[in-house]
Structure 1
Amino acid sequence: MSGGFDAGAYLSGMSDDEWKHLLRDLGDAASRFRRKTGNRLPEDVTDFVSGCVAKLLREPHKWQPERRRHRRPLPEELRAYLVRAIWCDILSFLESAGVRRREDYEDAIRACPEMAPSPEELMMKRDRANWIARMREFLRPYGYTPLFDLHFIEGCKPRESARLLRMPVERVYAHIQQIKVLLRRHFGDDGFLEDLLA
């Protein structure tokens, strides 16, 4: 990644203590959420962290803080980015849960107002989730949903997907191309689709 902070290189070089520090920060945020709302998260904190890190690595253009000479201590900007990401996930989950959870949603914002995502962020997150749900449903009859999730959503390389799905890597490459053809043919020329398939 040119002209900015290399998130992949930084994260791969983080020490166990730095990861524990980050997990503790996010765990504190999750605990505040539980105390205020009485609800548990839809996933545990570690899942949220790994999801946020995956998102960070998939979308490097959204993570461009000033370049640092030294990698330690953990840059505050990176911690703030990931903590904000977990709160976007929490609030998006509550918002999508419907009217009966509206008080919980508002309580969560009051518990940590600086982490509240903008309406535009929530709208984009919901739109993306809806698109992915439609694509998964469309691919299900073809048997391509597991590979779609691994390769396009989780960002696994073809060899890793082949290992997890226990199929030849050549077959994985062929299926990836077929998925692209099917999705483009069915969903048309869409900016989000092209970003996902890039």
Structure 2
Amino acid sequence: MSEKKHYGYLWLAELKKLAKTLKKDHPDLNHSQRLELAAQQFAGVRHYHEAMALHKQYIDSLQERKGSSLVNCKYCDLNYYADLAEDLKWHEERHLKYEKAEKALGYKPEAREEREASKQVAYEGMYLQKENPKKQVEYALKLIRAHFDRSLEAAIDGDYWKSHPPFEAFAAMMDYGPSLIPPEAMQVIRNRYGCIEGPIPRGLSYWFPRNQA
């Protein structure tokens, strides 16, 4: 089964970028005509307005209404008011950041609600699996993953995601006390990922570049 096409903001930006590059080969065409040609070549549609319709339909499919005008984007996890121009711009900018990050990393952090659920499952699992060290490690890693996703989300919002450590390095940086992760499980994680002291002090779970720490 082929992967579902994403007609997001990055897709639209790439279409518009192509239209600009077409000026060299088609100096006789105006900007609107180059957009039409780009839509045909890039999106395989007849007209630019058809490409815009695909884009709008895709973006709208990701929006979940929370009130009369309040919506939540299921992709970038932003709550915003769809009837406010500044909120629409805010959503477009955040959504585009997430698309660029996911394209480069091949990964997108879980939304806040899913992360909080994962953390709760992890805490309960580590407590209930006291006699099963292997399971405790699994739940401990689930907790670290939730913290990693939260840290990566902040990095995407702050435009420093390109330097954010991958999960393996992040796990090595995290210094959990025994009240969060049992020492035996923490030792297994240390043996697996190593220990990197300094970047994330104990008690914290966000990674920041040195100039922002």
| TM-score (ref. length: structure 1) | 0.30
Structure whose CA Rg is larger: 2
The structure where helix makes up a greater share of residues is 1
Q: TM-score, normalised by structure 2?
A: 0.28
Larger fraction in strand: 2
Greater RCO, CA 8 A, separation 6+ = 1
